[in-house]
Structure 1
Amino acid sequence: MQYHQFEFIGLERFGPIQEKLYTLLEQAMTYRDDAYNQAIEEAVCNAARYALDGPKKAFITIVIQVMPSTVSVQVLSRTHPFDAKAYQKSLQALLEDPVTRNMDWGDYVGLSDASTGFWYMLTGCDYLYLDSHGQAVTLVTSIRDHAEPVPVTRIGALVPRFLVRENGVIL
């Protein structure tokens, strides 16, 4: 297992780290996974946007673990509390409606910017788990023979990828 960690203050400091991070991931996976990279960018942007200290002073930690068949990237920041379990419930409610369940998330969200970050994250990874208070998000993807050519965007396939971690237990 390989382990890497980056720490920085302020979203504007992500740029130089981003290049190192994507190079590490591409070497580990042997291909560039743009959807996974976009998921990471969304996680970092959310960590800064919702940080208690604001985007310019947010202390952000990125932890990368490369295992034989998976890669995980965890993004941590002290953010305003977020009820991840309530959000998970609201996503799961979408599965009860057969129309919504079969919709593309982009059609569901429409022109609104609300909640697009989590949808991009879910599209770019096999699953994510969010700390129950929103302080950390972990994005996990499988190492494949090649990058997936067409990301999955159907709500019914994406919602089960959203998990919550509370007291070390994934719900």
Structure 2
Amino acid sequence: MQLDQFKFTGLQNFGPIQEKIFKIIYIAFQGQTNYEFQQAIEEAVQNAARYSVDGPYNANITIIIRRMAFDIAVSVYSETNAFDALAYRDRLQKLMLNPKYYDMDWGDYVADSTASSGFWYMLTGCNYIYLDADGQSITLVARTEGVNLNIEPTTKIGQLVPRFLIKKEGVIQ
């Protein structure tokens, strides 16, 4: 496993670090650009800054990248306002179980509701994500080689919601 870590203060300082991170990801995907995964990372960092207790310009953000044999995991940490990740996941699971929404594209759902698109972009760009139960960190995971590498890209609510996991007391659920 290879490990890279980046620390910065304020969303305005993400640009130079973003370039370094995207180079690491490019290498992990054997010289292929994975735009969806990059967008997922951008969304995670923007959320870390936006919901930081210190505000977006003073948010202390840490990004840790773990490159393993068959996948890559990018964790984004920031002290944020409290967020009940379990309740949010439950809400998305109820949405998924509604036959009206199961096969709906998340973009169509967001267009007709007050829901934000950030989590949907993250779910679209990853094989799975796991969010700390109180919202202080998120980890985005994508396969880089091996079995199931070419998971069919989807924006369907019923296929994306199961990719959203919660980490509580060290256990991913």
Give the alignment's TM-score, normalised by structure 1.
Answer: 0.95
The RMSD of aligned alpha carbons is 1.6
Are residues 149 and 141 of structure 1, via their aligned partners in 2, closer, same or farther at CA, if it must alter by over 3 Å? Answer: closer
Once residues 51 and 4 of structure 1 are traced to their aligned partners in structure 2, the CA distance between those partners, rounded to angstroms, is: 23
Query: 1:26 corresponds to which residue?
Result: 26
Deviation, 1:148, is 5.7
Partner amino acid, structure 2, of 1:15: G
1:131 counterpart = 2:132:
yes
After the TM superposition, which of the residue ranges 57-66 and 103-112 deviates more from structure 2? 103-112
Structure 1 residue runs of 4 or more that deviate by more than 3 Å after TM superposition: 111-114, 147-150
Q: Deviations over 1:9-60 (max 9, x none)?
A: 0001000000000001101211110000000000000000000000000000
Aligned partners of 2:112 and 2:21: how far apart in 1? 31
Check the 8 A contact 1:65/1:71 in 2, yes or no.
yes
Alpha-carbon distance change, 113 to 72 in structure 1, aligned in 2, over 3 angstroms: farther
Cα distance in 2 for partners of 1:133, 1:8 equals 22
Distance 1:96-1:111 versus aligned 2 partners, 3 A rule: closer
Pick from 159, 169, 172: which aligns with 1:170? 172
Q: CA deviation at 1:115?
A: 2.1
Asked whether the equivalents of residues 35 and 151 of structure 1 are also in contact (C-alpha less than 8 Å), the reply is no
Contact 1:126-1:140 at 8 Å conserved across structures: yes
CA shift in 2, pair 1:61/1:116, >3 Å? same
What residue number does 2:88 align with?
87
In 2, Cα distance between equivalents of 1:18 and 1:150: 26
CA distance in 2, matches of 1:61, 1:27: 21
CA distance in 2, matches of 1:168, 1:94: 27
Is the contact made by 1:50 and 1:80 (CA closer than 8 Å) also made in structure 2? Answer: yes
Q: How many angstroms does 1:151 deviate by? A: 2.8
Match of 1:5 in 2: 5
- Structure 1 residues 39-94: Cα deviation after superposition (integer angstroms, max 9, x where no partner): 00000000000000000000000000000100000000000000000000000001
Match of residue 57 from structure 1: 58
The yes-or-no answer on 1:158 pairing with 2:160 is yes
Shift in alpha-carbon separation, 1:34–1:148, aligned structure 2, 3 A: farther
- Give the fraction of aligned pairs with identical amino acids, expressed as a percent: 53
- Aligned 1:32-47 pairs, distance under 5 A: 32-47=33-48
* Aligned residues of 1:48 and 1:60 also touching (Cα < 8 A): yes
Structure 1 unaligned blocks of 5 or more: none
Structure 2 counterpart of 1:167, which letter?
A: E
